[in-house]
Amino acid sequence: LQGSFTPEQYNLLRWERDIEERNRPLTDEELDAMFPQEGYKVLDPPASYVPIRTPAR
């Protein structure tokens, strides 16, 4: 199967996998583990907040 890719395509594919890994959805537990436990509080979004949907998602 690998023979069907040019080296350029292969690199592009590898890079896309890397970005997919860095861009996968985060769970609340992962977020909690990421930040200092003290000195920060989660800021609730205002009632008026509507997230922008980006074309990438």
Partner 1 sequence: TISLRKGNTRLPPEVNRVLYVRNLPFNITSEEMYDIFGKYGAIRQIRIGTNKDTRGTAFVVYEDIYDAKTAVDHLSGFNVANRYLIVLYYQQAKMS
CA atoms of 52 and 13, how far apart (whole Å): 28
Q: Which residues bind partner 1 (CB under 8 A)?
A: 9, 12-13, 15-16, 19, 22-23, 25-26, 31, 34-36, 38-46, 48-49, 51-57
CB closer to partner 1 out of 3 and 36: 36
The residue length of the chain stands at 57
Q: How far is the CB of 2 from partner 1 (least distance, A)?
A: 14
Show the tokens assigned to 15. Answer: 């890079």
Residue 27: DSSP 8-state = P
Minimum gap (Å) between residue 48 Cβ and partner 1: 7
**To which residue do tokens 């199967």 refer?**
1
